[in-house]
Structure 1
Amino acid sequence: MASSTDTSAQPDRPPRPNTAFRQLRGRRSPAEFAALVRRAAREIGERVSCDARYVGRVEAGEIRCPNYAYERVFLHMFPGRTLTDLGFAPRSTVRGRGARPATARAAAALDPFCDRDAPYGAHRPYPNDPLNHEESDVLRRAFMTGTGATVAAAATLGPLGIATDASAASRRPGTSEAAAVEEAVRRIRLLDDKHGADGLYRRAAEPLRAAYALLDAGATRQTTAERLHSGAGELAISVGWLAHDSGRFDDARSHYAEALATSRMTGDAALEAHAFCNTAFLARDAGRPREAVRAAQAAQRAARPLGSPRLMSLLALREAGGWAGLADRAGCRQALVRAQALFGRGTSEADPEWMSFYGEAELAGLEAQCWSTLGDWRRAARHARRATRLQDPHFSRNIALYTAELADDLARDGHPDEAATAGLSVLDLLAQVQSSRIQSMLAGTARVLLPHRRASGVADFLDRHASLPRPRRG
C-alpha cells in the first residue's frame, strides 16, 4: 500500500512498525479492530472505510500520520491520548512534499479514485500525494451522498493507463507502483461494497491493464515483483467480480482465469484459492453447478496450507452452493455443517485481506441462497432475515442483496405482504446501490407477486418496480 514514510528527503527509508497502535488492538484481529474503528466513526458522524488492510498498514508504519478524519476517530476511541501516544509522527514532519518522481506519477495513474484536479481541501493535507490517504475527496463524496453516488464514483475511474506517461514507462516499476496496484484493489472493493458493480466495471478495467503493463516492464527486486503479481491478480479478481455482479459472466470468467494464471506463475496459493473461490461462485450463478463444486474443492486444496479457518469456511459454502444447484441435499448439508464448524473457530492472522466482508451476515446469507436453490423457502427466509439484521451498515450492497433474497423467499413461501415490504426496502436502497444481480432477483420476486396484487403493499411494490429504469452497462 501507499507508504507515508516515503519523504522526499529519504525516499527509500523502510517504515518503522507502529508498536503502540498494535498494543491498542490487543487480542482482536485486524478485521475486528477495523469494525470498532468504523463504529466509533459513526458515533461522531464521521465516515471512514477502515478495513483490516488499513489497520495492517498503520501497524507496519506505512501510515506515519492518519488523515484528519481518522485522527478524529482515533482520538475519540482513545480519549486523553495524542497522535504521538498512538504511535504516529507529528503532522508537521510528514507535510510539505515536493513534486513526485515519474515512478510515483505512474503509480498515481493506477489509482482509479484519485481526483487529480480537485482543489486542496481540509481532508486532503497532501495535495501532491493522494495515495497517502485512506480516501480521496472523490471517494469521500461518493460515500457521503445518496442519489447519484454511484455515478459520482464511476466518474473518477478513468481512463488511467500508464502508457500516457512516456517518462514513467521508461522506468522499471518499484514499490510505488506495487503500492498503487494494491490501493486500486482496495478502493474498488470499497466502492463495490457501498454502491454495487454497475457503472464501475468498464472504468475499473483500466487500472488492470496498467497493472499488467507494469508486470511486463519487470520489477528490479524480487519482492516487488511478487507484490506486483499478487496485486495484479487480486485486481483481476476485483474487476472480474464487478463483471460478475453486473451480469457480464463471460468477462468475469476471463478475469478470474487471468488471476488464476497469475497465481500459478508465481506459486501464490492465497491468490489461487481466491481465484478458484470466485470461479466457483460464478459457475453457480451461471448455471454450472458441477463446475462450482469442482472449483470450490480446488480452492480448498490451495487454501488448506494457509491456516485460515474462515477462508476454508467460505470455500465450503461455495461448495455447498454447487451441491444445491445439483439438487444434492445431502452434499449441500454436509458442506454447510463444515462451513459453520470452521466459521466457529474464529478469525486468525492468516485470514486474507479480501475476506473482510465475511462475517455472520454473509454466512447466513449464503446459507439462505443454498436453501432457496433447494426449494426450502421457509428455511431460506429465516437465514436471509438473520443476514439482514447482522450486516454491518457499511456494506450497503450486501444489505440490499440479503433483503432481496428475503423478499423472494417470502414471496415463494406464500407471504406476499411481507415480501412486498422487503422488496420496497430494496427499492429504497437502489438509489445508492446499482447491481444487475439484485435487480434480476427483484424481477423474479415481482413475477411471483403478480397474482397477489391485492395483498397489502404488493401493488405499491409492483408499481415502483415497474418504474425502475433498465440497468445500463458501461
Structure 2
Amino acid sequence: MASSTVPSPQPSQPHRPPRPNLVFRQLRGTRSPAEFAAAVRRAAREIGERVSCDARYVHRVETGEIRCPNYAYERVFLHMFPGRTLTDLGFAPRSSVRGRRARDEGDTPPAYGVTPPARTVGPANATSETSEAYEPYDTSDPYDTHDNEESDVLRRAFMTGGATVAAASLGPLGFAADASAAQRAVRRAGASDAGALEEAVRRIRLLDDRHGADGLYRRAAAPLRAAYALLDAGTTRQRTADRLYSGAGELAISVGWLAHDSGRFDDARSHYAEALATARVAGDAGLEAHAFCNTAFLARDAGRPREAVRAAQAAQRVARSLGSPRLMSLLALREAGGWAGLADRAGCEQALARAQAYFERGPSQADPEWMSFYGEAELEGLEAQCWSTLGDWPRAARHARRAAELQDPHFTRNIALYTAELADDLARGGRPDEAAVAGMRVLDLLTEVQSSRIQTMLAGTTRVLLPHRRASGVSAFLDRHASLPRGV
C-alpha cells in the first residue's frame, strides 16, 4: 500500500462549484445512466480493465464532481470514443487537477504492474478522482472502489496479472517474484511489515466482497509467499512476531477462501491446513478457530459433511475462551451445515437454535475483524442453505429471500449468492416463474461478480427450469443464461 503522508501547510484553496460536463452528458445520448454504466463495464472488459462503473459514477462525472477520471477509466473512455482526448470528452487536463505535484513526465497513464507514487492527502473540497496533492480520494466509503484510484489499481493488478497485492501492500518486499527473493530482500521484519501484511489481508477481503474470487486467486499467491518469507526473516520483538504469524495465517485463510469460492477445493484445503499449522505454532486461538471454521465450510461444500461437523465442533472448543458470541453463532451454523449434509434434521435444528441464541446476544469487542461479513443477512443465508440441503424448499426460499433483502449493498458477491440460492430454492419448490425473476437478478450481478460457486448454483437452477420453459419469464432467463460467455 502506498503510504499517505501528512502535507505541509498550504494556502487555503478557494471552493469552486463543480462545472457540469455537458460533453459527456451528450455522449451518453438517450441511454439511461445505468445503461451507459453497463456499456462502460463492457468496454472495460474488451481491453482487460475492471471498473466498477454504475449510475452514480456516471452522475458524478456529468455533474462535474469528477473533473478527471483515474487512469483505468481514462483507458476505457478513450477506447469507447477513439480519436478523442480527455478534454474532448469534457474532462479537465490531468495536470490542472493535480496541483503542484503534476507528473513531470506528462499525462501518460502508468503501465500495468507499476505502482503509483505515494499519495498526499489534501483538502476535503477537491473534486478530482485522482489522488495527488489537493485531490484526495473519498474516504467516506472504503468499499466504493471506483472513487479510489489506489483501490482501482489494486483490483486491476489482480484481474490483469500485473502487479500483485504483495507489490502494493508488502512494501519491503517490492516485486519479489518468489519467496526466496523476498527473503533475501528482508533482513529483519518490523512492525511496519506486520502492518502492511494486515492491510494486504483487508484489501483482499474487500476485493472479494465486491467482485468474488475468480481472477483474484492466482494473483494472491505472491503476497502469501512473501508473508511466509517475512516469518522466516525473523524479528527482534515478540509482539511483532505474533502479529506476523497472525497476519500470515489470516492471509493463508483469505487465499484459501479465494481458492474455495473459485472451485479449487484441494488448493483451499491446503491453504486452510497451512493456516491451522501457523495458528498452533503461534498459540493463536483466534486464528485456529478461524481456520477450523473455514475448513468446516469447505468440507460441507466438498461433500464431506461428517468432517464439516467435526471441524466446526473443534472450532467451537477453541473459540469458547475468546468471548465472542457472534463467533460461536457462526461456528454453530457451520456445524448445522454438516448435520444437514448428513440428513440429520434433529442435529441441524439443534445447531441452528444455538446459532440463533448466540447471535441474539449481540456484537462484542471480542468479535474478530474478519467477521465483518457476519450479520443477520449471513445468518439467514446459511440457514437457507441448511433447509435447502434437507429438501425443505419453501422454508429455504423464505430465508434466502430475507438474506438478499437484508444484505448490505457493499457485499455484492453475497447478494448474488443469496439470490442464486433463492432462485434455486424457488425452482426446486415448484415456482419456476419466481425462480426466473431471481435468476435474472443474479445475471445482472454477474457483470460485477466472479464466483464459480455462484455460477455453478445458477447452472443447476437452469437445469431444473428446463422442463418449465413455457412458464412466465423462464424462457428469457434460460436464453440469457445460455448466451453468457463461458466462465461467466
The separation in 2 between residues aligned to 1:354 and 1:119, in whole angstroms, is: 27
The separation in 2 between residues aligned to 1:180 and 1:118, in whole angstroms, is: 16
The separation in 1 between residues aligned to 2:220 and 2:147, in whole angstroms, is: 14
- Number of paired residues? 368
Residue 124 of structure 1: aligned partner = 131
Q: Are residues 292 and 142 of structure 1, via their aligned partners in 2, closer, same or farther at CA, if it must alter by over 3 Å?
A: farther
1:335 and 2:351 aligned: yes
Residue 107 of structure 1: aligned partner = none
Residue 391 of structure 1: aligned partner = 407
Residue 222 of structure 2: aligned partner = 206
Q: Are residues 437 and 135 of structure 1, via their aligned partners in 2, closer, same or farther at CA, if it must alter by over 3 Å?
A: closer
Gaps (5+ residues) in structure 2? 9-55, 61-99, 101-111, 120-127, 168-172
- 1:226 is displaced (CA, Å) by 0.5
Q: Is the 8 A contact 2:158 2:219 kept in 1?
A: no
1:436 and 2:447 aligned: no
Q: Are residues 274 and 318 of structure 1, via their aligned partners in 2, closer, same or farther at CA, if it must alter by over 3 Å?
A: same
Say which SS state the counterpart of residue 471 (structure 1) adopts. coil
Letter in 1 for 2:368: P
- 1:3 is displaced (CA, Å) by 8.3
Greater relative contact order, per chain length (Cα 8 Å cut-off, separation 6+): 1
Q: Is the 8 A contact 1:371 1:377 kept in 2?
A: yes
Residue 312 of structure 1: aligned partner = 328
Residue 158 of structure 1: aligned partner = 164
Gaps (5+ residues) in structure 1? 9-41, 47-95, 97-112
- 1:298 is displaced (CA, Å) by 0.4
Q: Is the 8 A contact 2:146 2:152 kept in 1?
A: no
The separation in 2 between residues aligned to 1:443 and 1:347, in whole angstroms, is: 37
Residue 425 of structure 2: aligned partner = 409
Letter in 2 for 1:124: S
- 1:136 is displaced (CA, Å) by 11
- 1:159 is displaced (CA, Å) by 7.9
The separation in 1 between residues aligned to 2:149 and 2:484, in whole angstroms, is: 25
Residue 195 of structure 1: aligned partner = 211
Letter in 1 for 2:115: R
1:175 and 2:181 aligned: no
Letter in 2 for 1:310: R
Say which SS state the counterpart of residue 431 (structure 1) adopts. coil
- Work out which of the two has the higher radius of gyration on C-alpha atoms and give 1 or 2: 2
- 1:469 is displaced (CA, Å) by 2.0
Q: Are residues 281 and 122 of structure 1, via their aligned partners in 2, closer, same or farther at CA, if it must alter by over 3 Å?
A: same
Deviations 1:279-305 (A, max 9, x none): 000000000000000000000011100
The separation in 1 between residues aligned to 2:190 and 2:439, in whole angstroms, is: 49
Q: Are residues 7 and 171 of structure 1, via their aligned partners in 2, closer, same or farther at CA, if it must alter by over 3 Å?
A: farther
Residue 420 of structure 1: aligned partner = 436
- 1:158 is displaced (CA, Å) by 2.1
- 1:463 is displaced (CA, Å) by 0.7
The separation in 1 between residues aligned to 2:386 and 2:117, in whole angstroms, is: 46
Give the superposed CA RMSD: 3.4
Deviations 1:347-391 (A, max 9, x none): 000000000000000000000000000000000000000001100
Q: Is the 8 A contact 2:4 2:118 kept in 1?
A: no
Deviations 1:172-204 (A, max 9, x none): 110111111101100000000000000000001
- 1:168 is displaced (CA, Å) by 7.1
Describe how 1:52-91 pairs up with structure 2 within 5 A.
none
Describe how 1:211-290 pairs up with structure 2 within 5 A.
211-290=227-306
Letter in 2 for 1:334: Q
Instruction: Normalising by structure 1, report the TM-score.
Output: 0.71
The separation in 2 between residues aligned to 1:421 and 1:166, in whole angstroms, is: 50
State the identity as a percent. 74
Q: Is the 8 A contact 1:142 1:153 kept in 2?
A: no
Say which SS state the counterpart of residue 400 (structure 2) adopts. helix
Q: Are residues 204 and 426 of structure 1, via their aligned partners in 2, closer, same or farther at CA, if it must alter by over 3 Å?
A: same
Q: Are residues 307 and 169 of structure 1, via their aligned partners in 2, closer, same or farther at CA, if it must alter by over 3 Å?
A: same
The separation in 2 between residues aligned to 1:139 and 1:291, in whole angstroms, is: 43
The separation in 1 between residues aligned to 2:182 and 2:377, in whole angstroms, is: 47
Letter in 2 for 1:410: L
Q: Is the 8 A contact 1:289 1:322 kept in 2?
A: yes
Deviations 1:227-282 (A, max 9, x none): 00000000000000000000000000000000000000011000000000000000
The separation in 2 between residues aligned to 1:119 and 1:221, in whole angstroms, is: 28
Q: Are residues 432 and 175 of structure 1, via their aligned partners in 2, closer, same or farther at CA, if it must alter by over 3 Å?
A: same
- 1:157 is displaced (CA, Å) by 5.0
Q: Are residues 357 and 324 of structure 1, via their aligned partners in 2, closer, same or farther at CA, if it must alter by over 3 Å?
A: same
Say which SS state the counterpart of residue 292 (structure 2) adopts. helix
- 1:322 is displaced (CA, Å) by 0.1
- 1:154 is displaced (CA, Å) by 2.1
Q: Are residues 137 and 341 of structure 1, via their aligned partners in 2, closer, same or farther at CA, if it must alter by over 3 Å?
A: closer
Residue 51 of structure 1: aligned partner = none
Q: Is the 8 A contact 1:371 1:380 kept in 2?
A: yes
